[in-house]
Structure 1
Amino acid sequence: MVEFHNRTEAGRMLAQSLMDYANHQDLLVLALPRGGVPVAFEVAQALNAPLDVCIVRKLGVPGHKELAMGAIAAGDIGILNYDVINTLGIDKETIKIVGAEELQELQRRDRKYRGDAPPINIKNKTVILIDDGIATGSTIRAAITLIKQQQPAKLIIGVPVAPASTYEELKLEVDEIVSLMTPKIMSAIGLWYEDFSQTTDEEVEELLRLGGRRR
């Protein structure tokens, strides 16, 4: 099942499928941290575009944190995956507790990655949103909602792997979606990588610095 050595290789491969946007005026590459940042860095470098982050937090199922029952983003944006919630019988109190914990982490990451710098203006920009893969789609949908509020000229999703069903659904929500792999049956994203070790805050900060987030 392994298709990519690591996120860097996946990013370089993904960039080849997005070269039509290279040197595009008002192009911005946004990454979902942390795992999406190494992928997005390679795309941004290849396309000659600035790199920034779109900070969204997955609401993981207690005991199975990789399985998303929803996601949150800045501006009180929340997306719930009712298929997961109803199937596992997750109650409202559990969702509330997990949501509060993830909001704290979202705010911590915002301070850590941005400092005092404001996010890059998205309005009327062509935005390519990158992650290291899509599982349930909750996280990417929260990011889409957040980005659309800021009125980009165009929104493209780019990922190394996404389930075929989610890929088809997202085609209706954005201007374009590019996924290198679209398996009919999707298990954990990490199974598609030889090296899926966790990206650190320090790596994210370094890649954002190199990617010219404040340019």
Structure 2
Amino acid sequence: MENHVPFRDRATAGHLLADRLARLELADPLVLALPRGGVPVGLEIARRLDAPLDLLMVRKIGVPWQPELAAAAVVDGGDADYVYNEDVMALAGLDPAKLQAVAERELAEIERRRKAYLAGRAPISTAGRSVILVDDGIATGASVRAALTALRRRGGKRLILAVPVAPQQTLDALRPLVDDLVCLATPEPFYAIGLHYLDFHQGGDEEVVAMLDSARLGVDTANEDVAGRT
């Protein structure tokens, strides 16, 4: 789908993705959204699949004297996972120990966000589940690659990447990391994710918290309904 009408907003994109994902008939799905933009997309998927929604937070670890150049990334979720960019580290003469101070700052930021968004709730285990990683789009894929690498290490029955829009070249590079990949549009030229939405406003922390609470309430209500029928 190279030429497409921009999505109205993230929720609309999530609804369309959910339609596609429902066809996969995933067993015991878990939706993991990359905040903030992935949360409204993930909420629609979680509702459609009757799945829990959780966050997966990725923070770049930059070269100390050139912070915008990613030497590694840290991915949260229980025990943190580190994903290293070996080429950058070799060129910069770095090893994990030399990145520790930066890594600790990024871990502290992840912990701050988890407390803000989830009131410190522990991450949902991926063991035995169909794990769906969701964002509102992909450009270079650096954060998504780190997230997928960490999720693969943690196990899970099936790993799925679901995004509304991304360049085909980026998807081709990420495809070997997943069992299934669902993307609605691969426009060329791509330019930027926001150009493919009519409404691409950046929601605040309060909006993220409200969406996560809504998803949790939906799952709790579904569980109560099942219990009442047994």
TM-score (norm 2): 0.76
* Counterpart for residue 6 of structure 1: 9
Mean Cα displacement is larger for which, 105-114 or 117-126? 105-114
User: Is residue 138 of structure 2 the alignment partner of residue 134 of structure 1?
Assistant: yes
* Counterpart for residue 179 of structure 2: 175
User: Is residue 75 of structure 2 the alignment partner of residue 73 of structure 1?
Assistant: yes
* Counterpart for residue 143 of structure 1: 147
Aligned-residue offset at 1:132: 0.3
Aligned-residue offset at 1:123: 0.5
- Whole-angstrom distance in 2 between the partners of 1:7 and 1:60: 29
Structure 1 pair 2/77, CA: closer, same or farther in 2 (3 Å)? farther
Q: Secondary structure at the match of 2:125?
A: coil
Amino acid at match of 2:124: I
Identity value in percent: 42
Aligned-residue offset at 1:139: 0.8
**Gapped runs of 5+ residues in structure 1?**
none
Aligned-residue offset at 1:119: 1.2
Instruction: Kindly report which structure 2 residues correspond to 1:93-104, keeping only aligned pairs within 5 A, or say none.
Output: 102-104=106-108
* Counterpart for residue 38 of structure 1: 40
Asked if 2 retains the 8 angstrom alpha-carbon contact of 1:56 and 1:143, the reply is yes
* Counterpart for residue 19 of structure 2: 16
Structure 1 pair 79/149, CA: closer, same or farther in 2 (3 Å)? closer
Amino acid at match of 2:176: L
Structure 1 pair 203/68, CA: closer, same or farther in 2 (3 Å)? farther
Which of 193, 198, 206 in structure 1 is aligned with 2:210? 206
Asked if 2 retains the 8 angstrom alpha-carbon contact of 1:122 and 1:152, the reply is yes
Structure 1 pair 118/108, CA: closer, same or farther in 2 (3 Å)? same
- Whole-angstrom distance in 2 between the partners of 1:91 and 1:5: 46
- Whole-angstrom distance in 2 between the partners of 1:8 and 1:141: 24
- Whole-angstrom distance in 1 between the partners of 2:132 and 2:59: 19
Structure 1 pair 135/52, CA: closer, same or farther in 2 (3 Å)? same
Structure 1 pair 105/207, CA: closer, same or farther in 2 (3 Å)? same
Residues 34-74 of structure 1 show CA distances to partners (whole Å, capped at 9, x for unaligned) of 1100000011111221111111125689xxx9x88464313
Which of 112, 118, 123 in structure 2 is aligned with 1:114? 118
Instruction: Give the length in aligned residue pairs.
Output: 208
**Gapped runs of 5+ residues in structure 2?**
221-230
- Whole-angstrom distance in 1 between the partners of 2:69 and 2:15: 27
Structure 1 pair 76/209, CA: closer, same or farther in 2 (3 Å)? closer
Q: Secondary structure at the match of 1:46?
A: helix
- Whole-angstrom distance in 1 between the partners of 2:192 and 2:100: 25
- Whole-angstrom distance in 2 between the partners of 1:2 and 1:102: 37
- Whole-angstrom distance in 2 between the partners of 1:129 and 1:143: 8
* Counterpart for residue 224 of structure 2: none
Computing the radius of gyration from Cα coordinates, the structure with the larger value is: 2
Which one has the bigger helix percentage? 2
Asked if 2 retains the 8 angstrom alpha-carbon contact of 1:21 and 1:47, the reply is no
Which of 189, 192, 208 in structure 1 is aligned with 2:193? 189
Over the residues paired in the alignment, what is the CA RMSD in angstroms?
3.2
Q: Secondary structure at the match of 1:205?
A: helix
Aligned-residue offset at 1:100: 6.0
Structure 1 pair 105/21, CA: closer, same or farther in 2 (3 Å)? same
